[in-house]
Amino acid sequence: MTDSPKTALIDAIRPEIKALPESGIVEVVNYARLKKDLVPLWVGEGDKPTPAFIADAAMAALKRGETFYTYQRGIPPLRQALADYLSRSYAAKIDPERVFVTVGGMSAIKETMQMLLNPGDEIVVPSPCWPNVAAAAEIMGGVVRPVMLTFGNRGWTLDIEKVMAACGPKTKIIFVNSPGNPTGYMMSRAEQKALLEFARKRGLWIVADEVYGRLVYDRKAAPSFLEIADPDERVVVVNTFSKNWAMTGWRMGWVVASKQLGQVYENLVQYNTSGVPTFLQHGAVAALNDGDAFLAEQVARCAKGRDMVTETFSRLPRVRYAPPDGAFYAFFSVDGEDDARALAFKLVDRANVGLAPGTAFGPGAPNFMRLCFACSLDRLGEGLARLEKALK
Ligand SMILES: Cc1ncc(COP(=O)(O)O)c(C=O)c1O
């Protein structure tokens, strides 16, 4: 036998799984995880723990014995709270029967890919994009067709015509992430309508990732497909508790889809994760019913962070940047630095700042860097001061 046992084992697994890339963000994090005094701005989360009123509700549920198997679709009070939250956030009346609770936004996306993609089916994904979307499709044998966003004076934009042109006979899904990670791109209502019309004509599914839908700076919420799609058409909207209420570690998200898919999502949840722990679901009810003020504070803090980034970058002539319309990332390039991955390592070594390289987000931004500004202004200020020194 010429191969080492390790190689032989790897070769024995499914090619789709073997081909999965290491996360380009985690690669940098692993390199620098133990570095002293590093300012971490690489991961998509803030630095505040979940607020006490949410944690307390989960702990009370845990203490009173909410520790059994439960509804795969989510406990009824949580589905009702989600419907209420969505109905007051958006110009749409959402029926709780259309809402399914998942293990994070990640499972919401993965289970939707499992539901829709046959091997060889194509999914059109505007890029750069959160990399887990492509990976979730590829695990199913789906083929990702990226469509590049472009960067200009107005920040990141997407040409909807290009999205439509990328749809061929094998296309099954158009994926839309608005506001977008890492770019902050926000799709307009008119663009959403045009895309929905196109998808209807072609019989395509739209999977809309709206996890940053409330993290916007000039309005209450980003335009949502919930507001224009009929309840029973080929539109699935995925979302998460992670970002709005500082709950990334809870692993809780949800799907809004047609009622007709209720049994399907119930089955997918059953056979993937068997659902979210019951006591956590009670915490999530508190987040939805009592968390509007916390969310408003988060948005206000992110807005200040965004201003701080804009002010610092305006002093750096090599930096190309436009403030994002939504989400909590600055996605910028530095003249003379063409390799984002190399720059990420360099900034760790020389400036002790952790950023995510654009190369981690699929094609389209090989020389861009992502900085998360959802943290405390002290931490952000320190990170920006170090960046300024390093990039001057
Ligand atoms: C665009 C986008 N979608 C979905 C998610 C999934 O969030 P989670 O699985 O933490 O709920 C993230 C997380 O960073 C994201 O950025």
3-state secondary structure the chain: CCCCHHHHHHHCCCHHHHCCCCCHHHHHHHHHCCCCCCEECCCCCCCCCCCHHHHHHHHHHHHCCCCCCCCCCCCHHHHHHHHHHHHHHCCCCCCHHHEEEECHHHHHHHHHHHHHCCCCCEEEEEECCCCHHHHHHHHCCCEEEEEECEEECCEEECCHHHHHHCCCCCEEEEEEECCCCCCCCCCCHHHHHHHHHHHHHHCCEEEEECCCCCCECCCCCCCCHHHCCCCCCCEEEEEECCCCCCCHHHCCEEEECCHHHHHHHHHHHHHHCCCCCHHHHHHHHHHHHHCHHHHHHHHHHHHHHHHHHHHHHHCCCCEECCCCCECCEEEEEECCECCHHHHHHHHHHHHCEECEEHHHHCCCCCCEEEEECCCCHHHHHHHHHHHHHHHC
Mean pLDDT score of the chain: 96
177 CB near ligand 1 (under 6 Å): yes
- Specify the pLDDT at position 219: 94
Q: For ligand 1, is residue 248 a contact (CB within 6 Å)?
A: yes
Q: How far apart are CA 24 and CA 131, in angstroms?
A: 9
Q: 148-205, pLDDT tens digit by residue? A: 999 998 899 999 999 999 999 999 999 999 999 999 999 999 999 999 999 999 999 9
d(CA 276, CA 259): 20
On the CB side of 250, how many CA atoms lie within 13 Å of its CA? Answer: 31
Ligand 1 centroid to 71 CA: how many Å? 23
Residue 216 has pLDDT above 90, yes or no: yes
Confidence of residue 5 (pLDDT cuts 50, 70, 90): low
pLDDT at 223: 98
Residue 206 phi, psi dihedral angles, 5° rounding = -110, 125
The finding on whether 211 has its CB within 6 A of some atom of ligand 1 is yes
Ligand 1 atom closest to 107 (CA): 9
Contact 347, 353 (CB under 8 A): yes
Burial class of residue 280 in the structure, from the number of CB atoms within 10 Å of its CB (0-12 exposed, 13-18 middle, 19+ buried): buried
Distance 361 CA to ligand 1 centre (A): 13
Rounded to the nearest 5°, which phi and psi values hold at 232?
A: -110, 30
What separation in Å is there between the alpha carbon of 247 and the centre of ligand 1? 11
Task: Report the separation in Å between the CA atom of 240 and the middle of ligand 1, taken as the mean of its atom positions.
Answer: 7
Residue of minimum CA distance from atom 13 in ligand 1 = 44
Atom of ligand 1 nearest to the CA of 240: 11
Residue with tokens 């949502």: 224
Ligand 1 atom at minimum distance from 129 CA: 1
- Where does residue 298 rank: exposed (0-12), middle (13-18), buried (19+ CB within 10 A)? buried
Provide the pairing of β-strand 353-354 with 356-357.
Answer: unpaired
Query: Would you say residue 1 has pLDDT above 80?
Result: no
pLDDT digits (tens, 9 = 90+) for 53-67: 999 999 999 999 999
Q: What is the pLDDT of residues 335-355, one digit of tens each?
A: 999 999 999 999 999 999 999
Q: Which of 101, 130, 361 has most ligand 1 atoms within 8 Å of its beta carbon, as the pocket-test mutant? A: 130
Residue 291: its pLDDT value, please?
Answer: 98
242 lines ligand 1 (CB under 6 A): yes
Our answer on whether the CB atom of 181 is closer than 6 Å to any ligand 1 atom is: yes
Reported as a pLDDT band with limits 50, 70 and 90, residue 101 is: very high
Q: What is the dihedral of CA 226, 256, 187, 300, to 10 degrees?
A: 100
pLDDT of residue 6: 60
pLDDT of amino acid 3: 52
Q: Does residue 51 register a pLDDT over 80?
A: yes
Residue nearest to atom 14 of ligand 1 (CA): 44
Q: Which atom of ligand 1 is nearest to the CA of 248?
A: 10
Q: Report the alpha-carbon distance of residue 213 to residue 178 in Å, rounded.
A: 7
Q: Give tens-digit pLDDT for 175-190.
A: 999 999 999 999 999 9
**What pLDDT, on a 0 to 100 scale, did the predictor assign at position 14?**
93
Testing ligand 1's pocket by substitution, the residue of 25, 50, 181, 210 carrying the most ligand atoms inside 8 A of its CB is 181
Going by C-alpha positions, the residue among 191, 177, 327, 324 that lies closest to residue 238 is: 177
251 alpha carbon to ligand 1 midpoint, in Å? 10
Q: Is the CB of 209 under 6 A from ligand 1?
A: yes
Are the C-beta atoms of residues 256 and 237 closer than 8 Å to each other? yes
Closest CA to 89 of 254, 329, 301, 302: 254
Contact 242, 107 (CB under 8 A): no
Q: Say if CB 344 and CB 272 are below 8 A apart.
A: no
Q: Contact at 8 Å (CB) between 301 and 377?
A: yes
**Domains with residue ranges and CATH for the chain:** 5-50+293-391 (3.90.1150.10), 69-291 (3.40.640.10)
Residue 50 has a pLDDT of: 98
Q: Which atom of ligand 1 is nearest to the CA of 251?
A: 11
**Is any ligand 1 atom within 6 A of the Cβ of residue 360?**
no
Distance from residue 211's CA to the centre of ligand 1 (Å): 7
Atom of ligand 1 nearest to the CA of 177: 1
Judge whether residue 384 has pLDDT over 80: yes
Ligand 1 neighbour 183 (Cβ under 6 A): no
